[in-house]
């Protein structure tokens, strides 16, 4: 996950400051020296680091901070605000045309994730009840058109193509007309990329631009390439005037330098980030939430939004009822795990809960997708009867379940014990709440 090293180092620096009742100028200087190193190690552009440290220092040595009862906390707050500012201040939303369709032109180098991001963006728009049209204008990369068609099929979004023998400009023009004729409210044009920025590519993008007059020109860059991504963004921006950046592969970028430098270097806001290959791994970019994640303070807002758009409300209600009546079985347990998995990799979810990221680093808490997989395997190896009546799972059944799931009897024992404990707590809770959830008088 992005920012791993940075978060750990910053937490270390601030841990030292937080405990202090008084902070001297020297303490601030020491802390800022470490923050500077941490940012440079995270591959943040050195000019950006310099400006950042100067700003934070100016504010942190002020009288109000020094006189405060909790100077360490005030300094963390200053860093939080400056980091947020560095990444653009507040969320930069996708533009919407006054008269539909809104035209979005996706540009970027080959392999950055342009085609997959086009699909992800279409899916996100569909979730908002929009009707996007994907336009396949990358006629050079073999299989790019097919790739977009496959993505379109997966999300049930139409893909406009004229094959690879028509010019990209013509495809874009006709695609836009097709969208107008068929009442699409968004058109996402997947343009061609190159291995490097070159004149031919820019000329073609210019031509498309002048014919379709896009509301958004989104540059897709690979976060894993660090400062190269920032250079590419700067290059594209001078030639094409971008409206926003999509930072891809943040799941594999442990440093995070591009995310912290793009806005400051190019002036162009990050509008979306992608965190995986799955089609729902695209998130709107919120600078304040990202800053909070970097500082290890979690991001509950994004987690709640994810839950709201992914969890089946009916099922959640049914599950709550079962919990109340303590009729929760291993079958329900499996279903609940399925719901949680819809929210994304456990590792990423943990980073959104305040304090969890740190616990993960210290290995106090080890919950990952692999472990979820083992738990699932154990439950899958139970018979229907065992899932419904866990009480009957005796020693010989446990041995069979362990062998069947490729786990150990100790793991099976642990899971059943945890499950019993969970049911016991639920029962206590429901007894306390009464049959209709009315709170009984507690003695």
Q: Which of 113, 178, 169, 172 is nearest to 141 (CA)?
A: 113
User: Residue 366 and residue 380: Cα distance in Å, rounded?
Assistant: 22
Find all residues with CB under 8 Å of 150, minimum gap 6, and list them: none
- On the 0-12 / 13-18 / 19+ scale of CB atoms within 10 A, 346 is middle
Q: Residue 249 Cβ, how far from ligand GDP at the closest point, in Å?
A: 4
Which residue in the set 71, 108, 214, 298 belongs to the binding site for ligand GDP (CB under 6 A)?
Answer: 108
Distance of CA 2 to the CA centre of its chain: 10
CA dihedral 157, 127, 221, 7 (to 10 degrees): -150
Contacts of ligand GDP in 330-369 (CB under 6 A): none
Direct distance between the N- and C-terminal alpha carbons of the chain, in angstroms, rounded to an integer: 47
- Selected range binding ligand GDP among 111-119, 199-207, 304-312, 420-428, rule: CB under 6 A: 111-119
Q: Residue 432 Cβ, how far from ligand GDP at the closest point, in Å?
A: 45
The yes or no reply on residue 277 touching ligand GDP (CB under 6 A) is yes
Which residue in the set 251, 253, 288, 411 belongs to the binding site for ligand GDP (CB under 6 A)?
Answer: 251
Q: Count of CB atoms within 10 A of residue 280's CB?
A: 19
Judged by beta carbon, residue 143 or residue 410, the one nearer ligand GDP is: 143
Which residue in the set 71, 101, 132, 193 belongs to the binding site for ligand GDP (CB under 6 A)?
Answer: 193
- Selected range binding ligand GDP among 71-79, 109-117, 203-211, 360-368, rule: CB under 6 A: 109-117
Binding residue per annotation — 258?
no
List, in sequence order, every residue forming a beta bridge with 246; answer none if it has no partner. Answer: 220, 272
Which residue in the set 92, 261, 274, 405 belongs to the binding site for ligand GDP (CB under 6 A)?
Answer: 274
- On the 0-12 / 13-18 / 19+ scale of CB atoms within 10 A, 315 is middle
| Helix (H) or strand (E) segment spanning residue 347 | helix 346-352
HSE at residue 142, side-chain half, CA atoms within 13 A, is 0
Contacts of ligand GDP in 199-238 (CB under 6 A): 220
Judged by beta carbon, residue 114 or residue 263, the one nearer ligand GDP is: 114
Q: Which residues of 226-265 are buried (b: 16+ CB within 10 A; e: fewer)?
A: beebbbbbbbbbeebebbbbbbbbbbebebbbbbbbbbbb
- Selected range binding ligand GDP among 54-62, 104-112, 204-212, 297-305, rule: CB under 6 A: 104-112
Give the binding-site size for ligand GDP (rule: CB under 6 A): 19
Contact letters for ligand GDP, residues 139-178 (x by CB under 6 A): ----------------------------------------
Which residue in the set 7, 92, 115, 348 belongs to the binding site for ligand GDP (CB under 6 A)?
Answer: 115
Length of the chain: 443
| Binding-site residues for GTP | 108-115, 190-194, 248-251
Residues that bind ligand GDP (CB under 6 A): 108, 110-116, 193, 220, 248-249, 251-252, 274-277, 281
Binding-site residue numbers are 108-115, 190-194, 248-251
């Amino acid at each position: 996950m992005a920012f791993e090293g940075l978060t750990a180092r910053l937490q270390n620096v601030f841990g030292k400051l937080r405990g202090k009742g008084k902070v001297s100028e020297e303490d601030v200087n020491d802390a800022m020296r470490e923050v500077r190193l941490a940012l440079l190690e995270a591959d943040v552009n050195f000019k950006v680091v310099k400006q950042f440290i100067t700003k934070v220092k100016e504010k942190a040595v002020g009288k109000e901070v020094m006189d405060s009862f909790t100077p360490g906390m005030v300094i963390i707050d200053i860093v939080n605000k400056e980091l947020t500012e560095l990444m653009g201040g507040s969320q930069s939303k996708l533009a919407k045309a006054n008269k539909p369709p809104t035209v979005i032109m996706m540009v970027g180098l080959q392999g950055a994730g342009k085609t997959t991001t086009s699909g992800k963006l279409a899916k996100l728009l569909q979730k908002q009840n929009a009707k996007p049209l994907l336009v396949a204008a990358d006629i050079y990369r073999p299989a790019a058109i097919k790739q977009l068609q496959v993505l379109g099929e997966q999300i049930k979004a139409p893909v406009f193509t004229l094959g690879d023998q028509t010019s990209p400009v013509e495809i874009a023009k006709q695609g836009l007309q097709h969208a107008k004729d068929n009442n699409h409210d968004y058109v996402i044009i997947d343009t061609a990329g190159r291995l490097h920025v070159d004149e031919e590519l820019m000329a073609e993008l210019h031509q498309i631009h002048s014919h379709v007059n896009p509301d958004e020109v989104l540059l897709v860059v690979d976060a894993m390439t660090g400062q190269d991504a920032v250079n590419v963004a700067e290059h594209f921006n001078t030639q094409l005037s971008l409206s926003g950046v999509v930072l891809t592969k943040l799941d594999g970028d442990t440093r995070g330098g591009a995310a912290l430098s793009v806005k400051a270097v190019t002036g162009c806001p990050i509008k979306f980030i992608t965190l995986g290959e799955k089609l729902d791994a695209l998130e709107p970019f919120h600078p304040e939430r990202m800053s909070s994640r970097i500082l290890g303070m979690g991001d509950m807002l994004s987690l709640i939004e994810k839950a709201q758009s992914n969890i089946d409300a009916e099922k959640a209600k049914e599950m709550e009822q079962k919990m109340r009546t303590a009729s929760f079985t291993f079958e329900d347990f499996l279903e609940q795990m399925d719901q949680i998995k819809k929210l994304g990799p456990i590792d990423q979810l943990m980073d959104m809960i305040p304090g969890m990221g740190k616990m993960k680093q210290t290995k106090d808490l080890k919950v990952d997708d692999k472990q979820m997989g083992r738990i699932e395997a154990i439950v899958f190896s139970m018979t229907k009867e065992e899932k419904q009546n866990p009480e009957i799972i005796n020693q010989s059944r446990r041995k069979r379940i362990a062998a069947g799931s490729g786990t150990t009897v100790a793991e099976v024992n642990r899971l059943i014990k945890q499950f019993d404990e969970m049911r016991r707590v639920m029962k206590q809770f429901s007894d306390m709440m009464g049959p209709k959830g009315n709170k009984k008088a507690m003695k």
